[in-house]
Amino acid sequence: MMAVRIACLVLMVVITPYGWYTWVLGAGAIFLPYVAVVAANVGQEARHDRREDPEPELPAAPTSPLPSGGDRVIRVQESPPRTSEPPDRTA
């Protein structure tokens, strides 16, 4: 489609004397991208028109309980930010 659009644009400028066909080639250069996008979108909708059921994709519930031995807790301790200046020792 882009090759046809560019051909319309080039022919619109190159062919002289200008007449009704100049307007037809200009309209082709302007409206062909719109037609190509609409045709591409309609083609994709026809292929993906099926309903998808999410239920089979859900994982099964765990069958074994968590091992005993306390709660599993992850603790994160942050240190103070490092500075490039040495500490002030004027005292």
Domain of residue 2 covers 1-40
What's the domain count of the chain? 1
Q: Structure tokens of 54?
A: 């999410």
Q: Is residue 74 part of a domain?
A: no
The ranges of the chain with pLDDT < 70 are: 1, 43-71, 86-91
pTM of the model: 0.42
**Residue 57: its pLDDT value, please?**
66
CA pair distance 27, 4, nearest whole angstrom: 12
**Residue 66: its pLDDT value, please?**
57
**Residue 49: its pLDDT value, please?**
58
Q: Are 10 and 16 contacting, i.e. CB atoms less than 8 angstroms apart? A: no
Half-sphere exposure of 85 (CA within 13 A, CB side): 3
Q: Is residue 61 part of a domain?
A: no
**Residue 38: its pLDDT value, please?**
84
Q: Is residue 50 part of a domain?
A: no
Number of residues written out for the chain: 91
Q: Is 28 left (phi over 0), alpha (psi -120 to 50) or beta?
A: alpha
Q: Is residue 51 part of a domain?
A: no
